[in-house]
Structures are given as structure tokens and as C-alpha cells.
Amino acid sequence: MNIGEHTAVVASEAYKKAPRRVEGRDKVMGRAVYAGDFYSDRLEREIDVAYCVTSAQSTGSVLSIDTQAALASPGVHAVLTHENTPRLKTVLSLNGTEIGDLLPLQDSKLHYGGQCIALVVADSLDHARNAALLVKVTYSEAETKPAFTLQQGTDRLADAKQVGAMEKGKEQIGDPEKVYGLSTHRVDITTDSSPHHHNAMEPGAIIATWEEDGGLTIRMPSQFCYGDAVILGQAFGFGLKERLPRIIGQVLGGLEFDNKVRVITPLAGGAFGSKQANIHTLLAPMAARMVGRPVKLVLSREQTFSMMPFRGQSRQRLRMGADIHGNLEAILQDVQTAQGAGGSFVEPVSENTMKAYACKNIGVNNRSARLDTNAPGWMRGPGASLGQFALEIAMDMLAEKAGIDPFEMRLRNHADVEPDTGHEWSSKSLKQCYQEAATRIGWSERNPQVGSMREGRHLVGFGMATSIYPTRMLPAVASITLYPTGKATVKSAVHEIGQGMLTSMTQVAADHLGLPLASVQLEWGDTRLPYGSMAVGSMGALTNGAAIAEAAIKVQKTLFKAVVKNRASPLHRQHVDDLAIDGEFIVAKDGARELVAAAAMRLDTPIEEEAITGRPPQLPTLPHKYGRCVFGAQFVKVLVDPDTMHLKVDRLVGAFAGGRALNPMLVRSQLLGGMVWGLGQALMEESSLDQRSGLWMNGNLGEALVPVNADTSGIEAILIEEDDRRGHPLGIKGMGEIGVIGTAAAVSNAIYHATGRRLTSLPMKIDSLL
């Protein structure tokens, strides 16, 4: 089904029928519960509130820290510093590259500005916050040659052996250097990008409770509750069984461990990669242990800048060569990225370069510099959004050199098979995406002459870019119980970070069980539940959806077996293999049918089934039969006032092909949200660091700008549906990141078309147009 243009999506039957968010009503009514909403009454225990004191200096050390006045301040129960805090054990985090080896409050050394150097615990937030101002700190001299930017840290650059999630930092096919040197048309560009933070509406928040049996219960927004439980288990010295809370047991061995660290993750008010393996995850339990009460810690906006991750600074050199007809011959990408003082995360900027276009000679090389800042980490469109910025600008430049329309340039270099492996794609409808989006924005009216198009006083520019993001899967476990009441419970520790996971997973279970949505209860976000996949890398719906679907099919089969044996059923004596679920009915080949709910009500005992996906040998790192990516095309129309050079993105049209849309409304929201992110990255998002002090200077939403409604009025998302059942049991692909990828390049290309200015530095503000 090709849903077609945006208006058609909204009007389509599939869209209208798409289940609304199951938690949506609570959210708009203000009844939805977030971690910060846990007060003493909800927890049914007295809780203390903590507030961080952060360092005013980036390097050197804390010489003295005087907490007397703070301790004497009303309501204060404790002040934690490196001098009185119990030592934590080393964390070998599986996912938590951001925490790394820099555990909080362990010694006096400063690693970055805004580092937590004390934690005040009091009976209320205002008491804690007031006392935090009374903590007196003196510092040693700062280091004489700190590096807070790539420019300052040039001599710290080193080859990155691994980038992203254990991908190679250096890859090559063919002989790109040699072939590039011989190419007829060549471009050689350098692009830059500034750091910027996730700025999820909800800041970091956590409530830590030590239980009477020595166990630890955590409530916090997380994209990976199991992963955070491992970090906590390691840091607080739980035994092996406790600190591997069933990941290995369940996923690899089918064993059960009794874990003592429990992480409950309620709704997250936005995450975007920022909510896992955070420093404050360790601070709250430290404080709770010291005061003997549950402790709540919510970061201020400013503290999220230094205590949570961000997208680090990057610089790329991209060289691209083509023959006289515009056919790509060589791509060379040299990447420099910023790393933090701790952690091992290196942004996978070159992730898509090996897969984007048909080209026989491709080389990527990543280098990174460890800077004296907090650690950059995963952020929506990780790496690829930056890599595609350089790649798609270069494509535009090459098209111009070869005298080809940018659209035609992309078609000419379309990768019919996965370039680096030669595998067939599981599905790829990129050409349709180009066509749909081009038609929608009116690309055929584009005059290729730079600066030639006008609308009233304004210069008009059209630009485009390809969107591509890998589709991967992780392990996940789900269990489903069908009760004789005709209702079912699904258990899997999935995460709701705003992407609609609760809705889509309830939907998958209901569809496969043949039950109405309201009869299916999803239990989620808790390490007491079967292992759910982390909500990262556009992998959540695929991974958890596969596990839930498989468990539901098992339940279905068991029910079928019960039904055919039951004399009261109209399906008595049918063959199990002749039965199928159709809507809310079990239907036999001969047309006999019975409501699933009615069949369930005849059960003597509940049916309980569990399924695991992504277990070896299907681990995502192992070779896969098909190339699996989600594709799209983004087209932009800009208006530039020739007098002031004021820029407005008038329209942004994206068409995306991601298999079957599980829920067209949720998918559309994901895509629109992603495109807004792309627009923010293109035009404004920037975290400003003082290059002398290493402090973040615009750590608030008044000065760290993100797009507002007035910036985003012209955004449209088109869904191209495709059959990807050979790629995934549900025929779906990951849609979380794709909307971000390519937006900034399309904007840059449109600006060039309007003005002749080739902007290669993100964000592209008015400064660069004057």
C-alpha cells in the first residue's frame, strides 16, 4: 500500500483506525506519572530530596570543601562529598559508555566543568537547593593546557578503533585513494558541527530506595532499565548473580537469577539517547544509603548540560569522485570527533557511508580526541545525521560539477544492492521516496540556475538529500498469559520514551491474539519483568515486536489445541493447522468460527507462553542474509530575504519507506519529530562552551534554542509502505532516527541554490550568510 502524500496519510483508513496512544489521555490530562512525580505519598514512605553542587572549574582538583554552613541549614540531613562518600566499585558498563570510569564523588580530581562535587540531602527541594548555595569550595590551579574543543585538542587526536556500538573505526572497500585521484569530477569539502544537548523536556530524575533485604529499588526514566540495573549492581558491589539481572540468564541460557537491583522506569518525558548510564543514577542511591531513606534527585536544566551526555563536536573531510557521467567512483571520509574525559563513546559518523550509494571504492577513517568535558553520547540520529550532512552536500556539489540535476544524480548512483557486502536489500523503495517527495514539493519547477528563483522579494532555493539508517535487532524476551476471562497480559520490560512503544506493543499482541486492544494489558518498564530491549537505535519496535508476536503465536497455537478438543466450541474436531486468527475470531478453513474471547473463557487454566528473539545465532553482529536499512528522501524549500539574509525554511517534505507501518499515526509522529530535530540541527541547536573555562554557557532553554512552532509549520511526512517480511517477521523497520538524517544537508543544499553560499558548518545561522 502506498499511502502517498501527507494529507492522504491523515485521511487514510489505516491512519484513522490506528490505535491512539494508550497513555495519551493520561498525558494530556496531567495524570501520567513521571519519575519526578514520586513524592512521599505516592511512594508511601518519607523521602528526602537531593540537589547537586557542581564544579566551577574544569581541571585541577578540589582543594577544600566546607559543608558546615550547609549542614547547619534548615532541613538538611547530609552533604555528600568525596571526603565522606563510600567508594563505589568499578563499572564495566555494557551500554554505559557515558559513565565510563568517572564515578562520582570518589576523589578530589576535576575532569570537566559542572562535575558533581557535592550532593546536599534535605527534607525538601527548597531546603536542599538553598543549602547547596552554602557549600564553600576552593580549587587548585587549573591545568595550563586544557582542551575543550577539537581545535584545542588537535594533539590529542588518535585513531578510533571502535565507534558507536562496536563498529570498526576504519573501513575500506576497493582502492578509494587511488581511484579518487583519477576521477574526472572531484569534490573535497570540510564540514563542522557544534556540540548540542538533547534537552528532553524532562531532565534527569531518579528516586532510589534501599530495601530492608539489602536490595535497591530505582525509579527513573531510562531507555534501558536492565542496563542501568547492571551498572548499579556493579557500582554498589552486588554479587555476580545480583548484578547480572537475568540478561545472560534469560537471553543466553534460559536461566533465572534472583536480582536485588530493581529498576522501574515510568514514562520518560523525552530521552533521545540521553537517558541511560547517567552519573546521577549512582548519586541518588549513594545518598539514600547515607540518610537511610529513599532519596529523590532531579537535575536542574543547567546541570543536565554537564551531567548528561550530548552530541559532541565533529569535523569531517569528505572527498568524492565521479566519472564524466556523474557515476560515483570513490568516497573518502575522514572524521574527527570529540570524546569526553570519561567513557569510551565515539560517535559513529561514518556509519552510512559504506551503504548509501553504489560505489566500489569507499574508505572511512575515524579519529577522536579526549577532551576535558563531560562525555558526549548517543543522540537521536547518532553519527549518521552528521555523516549524511557531509555526504549529501558533496553529492550536490558533484551533481553540479557533472551538470546533472541533484535528483538524477541520486538515481544514477542508487545502490541496487548493499554496496559493502553485495547482499540484496530486504526491501528498498528509495526511488519511490525521491519521486513522491519531489512531486509534493514541486521539484520539477526548480530552475537549476543558482539564485535564479524568486517569490516576491525573496530568493527561493530547493535542496534535497537522501536519508538512510541501518535497521538492526537486539535480543528481547516477552511472556504472554491468556486468562479464562478473555483478557491477556503481556510482560516485557520495554520503555516508553514518547515513541509510542506501549501502544504499538499492545497492538502487536492484540492483533496476534485476536483480542480487542482493551483486553490486552502490557506490563512494562521494570527489571522484574522479562528482558525488554533498550529503546535505542530505532530497534525497540522491531525487537520487542518480534518477541511479543512470537509469544502471542505460541499462545494462539495452544488455544487452538484446546479449542478443537472442546465439544462446546463450534471449532470442535477441526485440525489445528486449519485454524487462523481473523480479526477477533478463530476461523477454520471451512468457515466455522468462534470469538477468541469466547474460546478463552472456556479455558480451565490460563495459557502462558514466553518467546525470545535475537538470541544467537541471530545476534545482530552476525552476518545477515539481506542488507537492512530504512530509506527516505528529504526535500527543502527555503526563502531568503536578499536584504537581511534572513532565512526561513518554507517547506520540508520527507518521504520514508520503512516496511509496514505498525501504526501509521505513531510512525508519522516519529517522522515529523525527527524532521523537527533535523531542522534544529540544521539551523539553531548549539551548546556554547567557554574555551577558557570549559563551562557550558547557555545551559537553559531560553538560550539553547530548539525549533518552535513558527519554525516548523511547513513540515510534511509521507509514508511509503513496503513488504519487508523477509527482513522482519512483522515486516517493519526502525523509524526512530530516519527523520533526522539528511535534513541538514537538504537545507544546506537549498540555501546554496537560493544564494550560491555553500554552508558546511552546523548550525547554519544567519552569521554565515552575511
Partner 1 sequence: MRPFQFVRAKSLNDALTERANPSDHFIAGGTNLVDLFKYDVERPVKLVDINRLPLGEIRELHGGGLRLGSLVTNAETAYDARVKERYPILSSAILSGASAQLRNAATNGGNLNQRTRCYYFYNVASPCNKREPHSGCGAIGGVNRVNGILGMSAACIATHPSDMCVALAVLNVQVQVSGRDGDRVIPIGEYHRLPEDEPWRDNTLRPGELVTAIDLPAQGFADHYTYLKLRDRQSYAFALVSVAVVMRMEAGLIKEARVALGGVAPKPWRIPAAETALEGESPSRDVFIRFADALIDGAVGHGGNDFKIPLARRAIVRACHQAAAGTPQSQSDKRIA
Distances (CA, A) of 35 to 53, 266, 267, 268: 21, 6, 8, 8
C-alpha cell at position 452: 535564479
Nearest to partner 1 of 459, 477 (CB atom): 459
Nearest to partner 1 of 137, 244 (CB atom): 137
State the first-to-last Cα distance of the chain, in angstroms, to the nearest integer.
Answer: 46
DSSP state of 740: G
Which residues, at least 6 apart from 501, have a Cβ–Cβ distance to it below 8 Å? 494, 495, 524, 535, 540, 541, 544
Nearest to partner 1 of 14, 645 (CB atom): 645
Nearest to partner 1 of 113, 204 (CB atom): 113
Nearest to partner 1 of 193, 265 (CB atom): 193
Residues 603, 608, 611: CA angle, nearest 5 degrees: 145
Nearest to partner 1 of 28, 697 (CB atom): 697
Strand, coil or helix: 748: helix
CB atoms within 10 A of CB 299: 24
DSSP state of 255: -
Nearest to 379, CA basis, from 471, 426, 434, 312 = 312
Site of interaction with partner 1 (CB under 8 A): 56-57, 113, 126, 129-130, 133, 302, 456-458, 639, 641, 643-646, 648, 683-684, 688-693, 695, 697-700, 702-703, 705, 707-711, 765-767, 770
Cα–Cα distance measured from residue 390 to residue 374, given in angstroms and rounded to the nearest whole number: 26
HEC string of 699-727?
CCCCCCCCCCHHHCCCEEEEEECCCCCCC
Strand, coil or helix: 636: strand
Q: How far is CA 680 from the centre of its chain?
A: 16
Q: What is the identity of the amino acid at 234?
A: Q
Cα–Cα distance measured from residue 348 to residue 169, given in angstroms and rounded to the nearest whole number: 8
Measured from the CB of residue 457, what is the shortest distance to partner 1 in angstroms?
8
- Burial code of 225-242, b = ≥16 C-beta within 10 A, e = fewer? bbbbbbbbbbbbebeeeb
Nearest to partner 1 of 158, 201 (CB atom): 201
Cα–Cα distance measured from residue 382 to residue 97, given in angstroms and rounded to the nearest whole number: 14
Measured from the CB of residue 152, what is the shortest distance to partner 1 in angstroms?
14
Measured from the CB of residue 141, what is the shortest distance to partner 1 in angstroms?
16
Cα–Cα distance measured from residue 461 to residue 121, given in angstroms and rounded to the nearest whole number: 55
Which residues, at least 6 apart from 144, have a Cβ–Cβ distance to it below 8 Å? none
Cα–Cα distance measured from residue 354 to residue 418, given in angstroms and rounded to the nearest whole number: 9
Cα–Cα distance measured from residue 66 to residue 131, given in angstroms and rounded to the nearest whole number: 12
Nearest to partner 1 of 108, 700 (CB atom): 700
Cα–Cα distance measured from residue 335 to residue 590, given in angstroms and rounded to the nearest whole number: 63
Measured from the CB of residue 695, what is the shortest distance to partner 1 in angstroms?
6
CB atoms within 10 A of CB 561: 13
Measured from the CB of residue 74, what is the shortest distance to partner 1 in angstroms?
8
CB atoms within 10 A of CB 567: 6
Residue 341: phi and psi, rounded to 5, are -65, -30
Measured from the CB of residue 452, what is the shortest distance to partner 1 in angstroms?
19
Measured from the CB of residue 704, what is the shortest distance to partner 1 in angstroms?
10
CB atoms within 10 A of CB 206: 28
Residues 328, 333, 337: CA angle, nearest 5 degrees: 155
Cα–Cα distance measured from residue 464 to residue 438, given in angstroms and rounded to the nearest whole number: 9
Distances (CA, A) of 605 to 478, 601, 638, 767: 20, 10, 63, 70
Nearest to 732, CA basis, from 740, 723, 741 = 723
Nearest to partner 1 of 219, 651 (CB atom): 651
Where do runs of H (alpha helix) occur along 406-517? 406-412, 430-441, 501-513
Nearest to 118, CA basis, from 102, 131, 127, 100 = 131
Location of C-alpha cell 558533484: 398
Measured from the CB of residue 464, what is the shortest distance to partner 1 in angstroms?
22
Measured from the CB of residue 279, what is the shortest distance to partner 1 in angstroms?
18
Q: Please tell me the number of Cα atoms within 13 Å of 230 on its side-chain side.
A: 17
Residues 554, 623, 347: CA angle, nearest 5 degrees: 105
C-alpha cell at position 394: 558533496
Nearest to partner 1 of 308, 597 (CB atom): 308
Nearest to 586, CA basis, from 631, 608, 556 = 556
Measured from the CB of residue 54, what is the shortest distance to partner 1 in angstroms?
8
Measured from the CB of residue 126, what is the shortest distance to partner 1 in angstroms?
7
Instruction: Go through the chain and tell me how many residues it has.
Output: 770
Nearest to partner 1 of 103, 117 (CB atom): 117
DSSP state of 134: T
C-alpha cell at position 554: 505460541
